[in-house]
Amino acid sequence: MWSNFSSVSSGCSAGPSSLRLRPTMTAVIIDIEGTVCSISFVKDTLFPYFLREVPAKLESLDYPIKVSSSVEDSESARISNILVGFPQEVVSSYETTLSHITHLVSSDIKDPVLKSLQGLIWSIGYHNGDLRAPIYPDAIKLIESFKEGDPTRKIYVYSSGSVRAQKLLFGHVSFEDSIVDLNPYFSGYFDITTSGFKQESQSYKNILESIGQLETPDQVLFLSDNVKEVDAANSAGMKSIVVVRPGNSELTEDDRKRFKVIDDFSQLQI
């Protein structure tokens, strides 16, 4: 499976060794959490911010939740129009709605309605300056440089977080003493509502079809910290690499034998 990889860095040690891919990659798809930013940002910053802010947002709504017919694009109307995606009995009262949302978050359930609601709440935090995305410097460099010399090359995002949340994160990246917007470098975004769940091979085939590379999957590289996602991408014919970052789950010896592993994007020769 890895005959087109050479000069591989083993384990987690950075250093001069690198990973060369053949054929040359025409597209890269990146995961977010644990890949281009730390898991702790999502777990210790984004999720707590959402749980801290959502009760007051829910208290301002009328129950049971119904589609808002308001002509004004108010915050309450936008929240209501997201929440109607939950079963009717869930949004019958403030208490049942908050309980359901809290359960989904604590259980790490990838619910599309929850992801949309999180994206909206986080957008408020990004725009008012409460939130900034701490993207790893080597990830910023890859994102900014991948198309240098060949503008036909493309870079995409695939995350369980909503496309809205992805754009918000990459639009508010903390870099030195400023905030930078990396969105202009991306050619597209995918989430579980557009492409399917990330541990299913068909989801990656859906993405390949969307980007016009169903016939050339070996020219597409997927980068993720999750071995099950990497396995699914491999099954779809993509090249795929496990990314190890501080705070990520430890890889087993079997994982290290089965997959190619890097801990810094500078180790890639693509």
Give the span between the Cα atoms of 182 and 170, in whole angstroms.
5
Q: Where are the beta strands (DSSP E) in 71-217?
A: 154-158, 173-175, 178-180, 188-190
Q: What are phi and psi of 6, to 5 degrees?
A: -150, 165
| Cα-only R_g, the chain | 20
53 is in an annotated binding site: no
- The CA distances from residue 103 to 56, 92, 97, 111, 148, in Å, are 17, 16, 10, 11, 45
203 is in an annotated binding site: no
20 has which bridge partners?
Answer: 6, 269
225 is in an annotated binding site: yes
CB 140 within 8 A of CB 220: no
Give the span between the Cα atoms of 67 and 71, in whole angstroms.
12
**Residue 226: how many other CB atoms lie within 10 Å:** 20
116 is in an annotated binding site: no
Q: What are phi and psi of 248, to 5 degrees?
A: -70, 160
Q: Where are the beta strands (DSSP E) in 126-215?
A: 154-158, 173-175, 178-180, 188-190
Return binding residues for Mg(2+).
Answer: 31, 33, 225
Return binding residues.
Answer: 31, 33, 159-160, 198, 225
Return binding residues for substrate.
Answer: 159-160, 198
